Every structure is written in structure tokens, then in C-alpha cells.
Structure 1
Amino acid sequence: MRSRELVICGLNAVRSRFETASSTVKRLFFTLPIAPEIGDLCRWMAKERLVYRCVEPEELERISGSIHHGGVVVVVQPPEIRSPRLDEVRQWASSGLPLLILDRVSNVHNLGAIIRTAAFFGVTKLIIPDHPQAALPTEATYRVAEGGLDHVEVFCVDHLPGFLRAIRPYYFIVGAATRGGSPTKGRNQERPYAIVLGNEELGLDRDVMSACHELTTIPGSGFVESLNVSVTAAILLWELIRSPERPDTPRFPNGPISAR
């Protein structure tokens, strides 16, 4: 589940990577119009003796594999996606950390939007299953997440229903159902929440549903069957978690901080 290199596109995502994990940076490429906006990044690359280069838009499209590169890309060492240990999960729960769990969400853009939402609400642990239908983070995911993947750690489990049953003593598990669930009942004060979102077309697997403590359905007009899964994530995180606002911190007050 690990590739040798990953390409991150777009100014927000690129800056986020320099700010949070500069030790993973390998190469930086950009077009002439955006050069004045990344002088600090170029100075840091020069200081670290890493490759950075101004290129034509066509070459940047080739490097990034996308026309949606935003004028700047950074090539980085990708994170390893591993399985969480049960003792880790217990520690997360005792610290009050919520979990966001995806049951075979298959679209990499939806995955990116969900991760962006999770980062916005301060949810830093995301669980996905090792399943052919489940999307893994790609360059498109990083682009859509707008830097969110530098704040959200992604884990992968072999058997999602079994994982949910194992964490039931520590988390109150709420599954998002297209129909048949109850409206959210507010916050559970005894245990942190684990929110489970299903596949875009198929919803939650039956075994996954049976492992949840509660199923919830967001009421709507009925004009369309359901919300996009990333919108569902935003509503449920707002309703059930609403992490406290974090104080603003300046980005690159003296240039990016090196972790090398």
C-alpha cells in the first residue's frame, strides 16, 4: 500500500506539506506566474540542496499527471498506511479522540473531500478497509483535501466489521444509513464517537451496520435519494463532534520549518 513517490498539487496543499512534513519533500516544480508566491519555499529547497525548478505548464502537467496542478507541485515520500493496534485505539478513546470510518468509499475525490472536512473539524484519525472497492489516497485525493491529509492520519484494517466489534467497548459507533436510521440524538458523553460512512452506491455493508451501536439518517425533502458522502460527513461531524476552535497560527512566519 505504499508507492515510492507521491505528487501533491496546488498551493495550499504544497504549503501544508512544507509546514507539517518538510522532511518528506524531494522535489519542487512550478510555473513562472506562481514563482513570486513561493519564494520562501524555493529558498528552503536551495538551503536543503534539493531540486526545484520553474517549468512550462505542459511539463508541469506531465509531472503532475493532471491539468489541475494549480501551477505548483511537490514530489514527496508518501506515508505508509498501516493497521492500528487495539492498544492505540484504546488510547485514542481515553483521550476523547473521535474516529471517522469509511466503508468502501470508492471515489478518490470524495475521499479527499471527506479528509478536508475531517481536518476542518479536528478529526485526525481515519479508518478505511483493505477492500478492492475502497479508495486509497492518490494525487487527486491530496489535491481535493487542500492540505487536510497533512493533519489526518489514515489507517487500514483487514476486516471492518471485526474492527468495529473490537472497538465497541471504547467508542459509540454511529453508522450513516440512507434510510431507516434515526435522527441524531446529540452527543454521547460517555464515549467518543466513531462515525461510519458507507459506499457511494451501496451504502453500509450489512455486517458493518450490525456492528454499529446506532444508525442515523439525515432527514431531507425526498427530492433526491441521498447526500454526497462528503456532505454527510460534514453534517454528522458538525452535529456530533464540533471540535473546539483552534487558535490561529501564522503560516511560515520565518519561512518553512525544517524537520530534516
Structure 2
Amino acid sequence: MKTHREIPVCGMKAVAAVFARRPECVKRLFFDPETGRAAGDFCRLLAREKRVYRQVPPEELERIAGTVHHGGIVAITDRPVATEVTPDEIAAWSRARRGLVVLDRVGNPHNLGAIVRTAAFFGVPAIVYGVSREQALPGESTYRIAEGGMEFVEVRPVRGLPGFLRAIRPQYQTVGAALQGRPLDQLQIVSRSATRPVALVLGNEEHGLAPPVLAACEHRALIPGTGAIESLNVSAAAAVLMHWFHGRD
């Protein structure tokens, strides 16, 4: 599948995060009259670098963004290259007691964006996803929903998710979200103060974790509810679990 080398980043918070973290990657900037009043610093930076910035009418901004949900401003940026996670990176994150999120076929890019936003909020440095046709990849809507979180969280692929989960056990406790799991308050896990921090493993919106992936997890966690609804949306479950394991210490 052909991957475009540029990506439109929409919305003021996401655009501001790009300018704050990697301004050299912004190639062009477009905005509507109302939002342009807040884009002065961005324009001055681009002017110094002799890069394009322009106020455009709403219909053109929609065309550039590829969506009506552009928030009045669109930065055309270099698309980051997603390289596979290395054992050295896993070891470094673990030594720093940083959490990890692992995704198994989460197919909705909006859910991916919401999970990235939550990871950034709780200081989780990386989201690792198994290579699959069913897995959503970072795109325009992911950047927009993440509200700038894509600039703080690495989203990286890995091949062979069950093998990966087994390989990181010396560094991480792997906790799979599953209806067959134990309630959170019954899990004997302490996140940041433990020898090994927690890697949360979240599955597909319809089918949950694939059996080989679930089998590779050390622990299975259940978010208890009233029983009126079987489960939470995966992005909501991610928020609950990240708060439980990474946000309370």
C-alpha cells in the first residue's frame, strides 16, 4: 500500500503541538480568517524559513484538510516514519518506569487517536501495535482526535504480537484487558513502584484480544461494571486502565 509522505494536521491544539515539538516538519500552513488571528507566531516562523502560509476560504480549507472537522487551521507536515520497536528502547522505557500500551487490531482511527491522547496525558511514552490489516494506523483523524498527543507518544509497529509480549516479560508485566479477567482491585500488581512497570494490552473493538495474544499476557484485567452493558469502548477502557496503572502513583 502506498503511503503519502505528508499528512495534514488539523485543529489548533494539534497544530500548536507540532510547532512546539517539530517545527521543521511543517511545510505549509492554511487557516480561515477567524483562526488566522491566533496563528501569528506560526506565520512569523514560517516567514523566516520562507515556507508557505495562507488564509483560505472555508471550502478550500476543507479540501486541504480532507475533512470538515479541521478546526479552522491545517498544517501540512512530514509524516513520521514508524520503525519497529527495538529491545533497547523497551529496556530504556522499563528502566525509567514508564508504562506501555500494546494494541491488537484496534481498527477505528478515532479510537487510536483517543488512546494516544490518554497516553500523552498519563505520560505513557509509546503505543505499540501489531502489524495487521485490521489495525488502524495514524492518519489525519488520529492526529485531530489526539489533540496534540501524537507529538508526545510514539506509535510504533511490531511483528508477531504474542512473541513480542513474551519477549518483554523481563522488563514489563503484561496485562491484557479481557472479559475473562480478574477485577482490577483483585490484581496483585503495583505499577510504577514495581520492579517491572505495566504494559497494557488492548484488543479489537468487536472481538477483543486474539486468543494467542491473550495467552501471551501474564495477567488478565477486567473493569467491573453493573453488568447492564458488557464492556466499554476500547478507548474508554484504555483511559480507565491507564489511570489505574499509570495515573495514581
Pairwise same-fold verdict (TM > 0.5): yes
Partner of 1:203: 208
Aligned residue identity for 1:196: V
Post-superposition CA distance 1:119-175 (Å, at most 9, x none): 000101110111000000000000000000000011101111111111111100000
Structure whose residues are more often strand by fraction: 2
Tell me, in whole angstroms, the C-alpha distance in 1 between the residues paired with 2:78 and 2:205.
Answer: 30
List structure 1 segments (4+ residues) > 6 angstroms apart after TM superposition. Answer: none
Aligned length in residues: 243
Tell me, in whole angstroms, the C-alpha distance in 2 between the residues paired with 1:150 and 1:65.
Answer: 21
**Maintained 8 Å contact 1:8/1:142:** yes
Post-superposition CA distance 1:75-125 (Å, at most 9, x none): 000111111111221222122121101111000000000000000001011
- 1:12-27 aligned at under 5 Å gives the runs 12-27=13-28
**Maintained 8 Å contact 1:2/1:80:** no
**Maintained 8 Å contact 1:111/1:137:** yes
1:187 to 2:171 alignment = no
- 1:59-74 aligned at under 5 Å gives the runs 59-74=60-75
Partner of 1:163: 164
Partner of 2:98: 97
Tell me, in whole angstroms, the C-alpha distance in 1 between the residues paired with 2:236 and 2:204.
Answer: 13
Q: Which sits farther off after the overlay, 24-33 or 84-93? A: 84-93
Q: What runs of 5+ residues in structure 1 fail to find an aligned partner?
A: 245-260
TM-score of the aligned structures, taking structure 2 as reference length: 0.95
Tell me, in whole angstroms, the C-alpha distance in 2 between the residues paired with 1:86 and 1:35.
Answer: 44
Q: What runs of 5+ residues in structure 2 fail to find an aligned partner?
A: none
Aligned residue identity for 1:118: A
1:219 to 2:227 alignment = no
Tell me, in whole angstroms, the C-alpha distance in 1 between the residues paired with 2:195 and 2:5.
Answer: 42
Aligned residue identity for 1:71: G
**Maintained 8 Å contact 1:90/1:170:** yes
SS at match of 1:182: strand
Aligned residue identity for 1:137: P
Tell me, in whole angstroms, the C-alpha distance in 1 between the residues paired with 2:59 and 2:18.
Answer: 24
Aligned residue identity for 2:247: R
| Displacement of 1:2 | 4.7
Tell me, in whole angstroms, the C-alpha distance in 2 between the residues paired with 1:88 and 1:21.
Answer: 21
1:239 to 2:239 alignment = no
Aligned residue identity for 1:233: A
1:149 to 2:120 alignment = no
Tell me, in whole angstroms, the C-alpha distance in 2 between the residues paired with 1:71 and 1:232.
Answer: 31
SS at match of 2:74: strand
**Maintained 8 Å contact 1:122/1:243:** no
Q: Which sits farther off after the overlay, 81-90 or 45-54? A: 81-90
| Displacement of 1:3 | 2.5
TM-score of the aligned structures, taking structure 1 as reference length: 0.91
| Displacement of 1:225 | 1.4
Tell me, in whole angstroms, the C-alpha distance in 2 between the residues paired with 1:133 and 1:243.
Answer: 32
